């Protein structure tokens, strides 16, 4: 954090008491520092939160590399790439939004925040298409149990096993050069595929929840921006929202190659 980022924060611009200064801080600069440090620590907890899943990924991939190579064939690389571009672009607009508020350009701020939110929503839309695709081909671990719940017990007992759509799996494997698998070979290949899909859904699902949280936070900031609550002398929420959004973006940048681009 450089001093140039906090140009007008020593005192309220009109020299009077700062309306945004909470009673327990002695100066706006102290308040700003505290808020940023708090946010960074919170982001650290988020990284550790995802760290558990990344760790699970590392352990299972080290133990069963073939499962992961097989598993990634069922993910849609173009859609994943599109989502990556969307998020990186939204990070750029978010960073520009922070810049805009620091320079006091309110209309730019509103526009850039709106673009960021739209990118986030588009990301979720693409993700929903991917999830739907997986669901249709029964590539969702525990799908039998979920379906059993939704049917209120009308279908048969929930299966514990991961049973993907066999024709679909065979077709995908054939595309990868594994043609004419006999039943034993097929069973062997899909035996632990559920673990890969479990980690895929946990990681991307948790990430999607964070995208939703980010969209909610930025929408709240957008409302504030429309009501002209932020300016060059007070922009802490925009700054913190930006930090959070960059983290969400960064996690995806790790997820994309780890899940989609395995060799």
The answer to whether 119 and 245 are in contact (CB under 8 A) is no
The answer to whether 169 and 138 are in contact (CB under 8 A) is no
Under the criterion CB under 8 A, does residue 42 sit at the interface with another protein?
Answer: yes
Strand partners, 234: 231
Under the criterion CB under 8 A, does residue 59 sit at the interface with another protein?
Answer: yes
| Interface of this chain with another protein, residues 111 to 150, rule: CB under 8 A | 141-142, 145-146
Query: CB of residue 163 vs another protein: minimum separation in angstroms?
Result: 12
Query: CB of residue 130 vs another protein: minimum separation in angstroms?
Result: 17
In the bound state with another protein, the residue whose beta carbon lies nearer, of 13 and 49, is: 49
Stretch that binds another protein, among 122-130, 198-206, 222-230, 250-258 (CB under 8 A): 198-206
In the bound state with another protein, the residue whose beta carbon lies nearer, of 8 and 202, is: 202
Give the one residue of 34, 82, 114, 250 binding another protein; rule: CB under 8 A.
Answer: 34
d(CA 194, CA 260): 16
Give the one residue of 8, 202, 219, 232 binding another protein; rule: CB under 8 A.
Answer: 202
Please name which of 40, 51, 38 lies closest in space to residue 251, comparing C-alpha atoms.
Answer: 51
Query: CB of residue 251 vs another protein: minimum separation in angstroms?
Result: 13
Under the criterion CB under 8 A, does residue 28 sit at the interface with another protein?
Answer: no
DSSP state letters, 131-189: HHHHHHTT-STTHHHHHHHHTTT-SSPPP-S----HHHHHHHHHHTT--S--HHHHHHH
The answer to whether 88 and 253 are in contact (CB under 8 A) is yes
């Amino acid at each position: 954090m450089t001093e140039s980022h906090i140009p007008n924060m020593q005192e309220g611009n009109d020299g009077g008491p700062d309306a945004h200064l909470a009673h327990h801080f002695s100066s706006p600069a102290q308040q700003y520092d505290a808020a940023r440090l708090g946010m960074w620590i919170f982001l650290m907890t988020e990284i550790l939160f995802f760290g558990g899943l990344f760790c699970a990924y590392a352990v299972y991939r080290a133990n069963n590399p073939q499962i992961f190579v097989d598993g990634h064939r069922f993910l849609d690389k173009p859609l994943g790439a599109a989502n990556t571009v969307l998020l990186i672009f939204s990070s750029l607009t978010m960073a520009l939004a922070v810049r805009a508020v620091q320079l006091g350009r309110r209309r730019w701020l509103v526009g850039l925040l709106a673009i960021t939110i739209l990118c986030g929503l588009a990301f979720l839309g693409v993700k929903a298409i991917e999830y739907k695709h997986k669901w249709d081909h029964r590539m969702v671990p525990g799908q039998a149990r979920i379906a059993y719940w939704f049917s209120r017990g009308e279908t048969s007992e929930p299966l514990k096993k991961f049973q993907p759509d066999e024709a679909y799996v065979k077709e995908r494997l054939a595309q990868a050069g594994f043609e004419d698998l006999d039943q034993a070979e097929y069973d062997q290949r899909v035996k632990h595929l559920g673990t890969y899909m479990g980690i895929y859904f946990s990681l991307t699902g948790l990430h999607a929840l964070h995208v939703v949280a980010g969209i909610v936070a930025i929408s709240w900031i957008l409302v504030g921006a429309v009501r002209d609550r932020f300016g060059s002398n007070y922009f802490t929420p925009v700054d913190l929202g930006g930090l959070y959004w960059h983290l969400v973006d960064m996690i995806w940048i790790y997820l994309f190659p780890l899940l989609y681009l395995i060799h």
